[in-house]
Structure 1
């Protein structure tokens, strides 16, 4: 009988190479994943704003001015998934209004921040840029 048998398995070097490859792949994949998650959360805020914008226009068809209250137009103060707070800023009148969607804690978006729309469409003045609306 053969008293010395070769044991099958991985060497320490092979194991370290495999761990290094996994680390490199993870360092590439994780930032891409987090950016994808932020894009999905931004979509929540943008859809809430566009729904509120449609509600404002509908309200205006039967009243002399835009509404100053989200309740009056039947819109919630939070986005559907809860990542943004929706608000009417300023004082709406017969011709103007501004709606904003601000990120809610714990979600933060230092790249885009607050999204806004007004009676003319997307509002970039002091709010998220046109690039953020595309992301």
Structure 2
């Protein structure tokens, strides 16, 4: 009687590689979509932090004029993905802050695009969710 050697045949190995490749092809787009959503949420939270800074500035200076956005941990962490700046103002009574996507975030996030908030707390987005910006914040 001959003993058969233990191990995998080439066919079995190729089937396993094909299964792994199919799983990876399904999982990778989902993974990148979740990364975009996570960065979007972090960008919205940072935008809200900037708006809170503006309200603190208003309460100490009785106006928004002259305000400069601070360099915070969130703006540094998201620097490769979002640019935070004033899109209008600041003047004595109003401002509009914007979170502008950059790099891969800009090309992958067509749903929200540029997110903004003003002194009244009105939120807006420039992407396909522009009619319902609450989905972005």
- Give the TM-score range, shorter chain: 0.7 to 0.9
Q: Can you give the 5+ residue segments of structure 1 that lack an aligned partner in the other structure?
A: none
Once the two structures are TM-superposed, the CA of residue 92 in structure 1 deviates from its matched residue by 2.5
Q: Deviations over 1:20-48 (max 9, x none)?
A: 21111111111111112112221231122
Question: In the superposition, relative to structure 1, how do residues 8 and 107 fare at CA in structure 2: closer, same or farther (>3 Å)?
Answer: same
For these two proteins, the number of residue pairs brought into alignment is 129
Write out aligned runs for 1:85-104 (5 A): 85-104=83-102
CA RMSD of aligned residues (A): 2.6
TM-score (norm 2): 0.76
Q: Can you give the 5+ residue segments of structure 2 that lack an aligned partner in the other structure?
A: none
Question: In the superposition, relative to structure 1, how do residues 101 and 68 fare at CA in structure 2: closer, same or farther (>3 Å)?
Answer: farther
Q: 1:76 & 1:24 partners in 2: Cα distance?
A: 44
TM-score (norm 1): 0.77
Question: In the superposition, relative to structure 1, how do residues 76 and 87 fare at CA in structure 2: closer, same or farther (>3 Å)?
Answer: same
Corresponding position: 1:76 with 2:74: no
Once the two structures are TM-superposed, the CA of residue 107 in structure 1 deviates from its matched residue by 4.2
Question: In the superposition, relative to structure 1, how do residues 12 and 100 fare at CA in structure 2: closer, same or farther (>3 Å)?
Answer: same
Write out aligned runs for 1:40-51 (5 A): 40-51=38-49
Match of 1:27, SS state, is helix
Aligned residues of 2:115 and 2:126 also touching (Cα < 8 A)? no
Once the two structures are TM-superposed, the CA of residue 64 in structure 1 deviates from its matched residue by 3.5
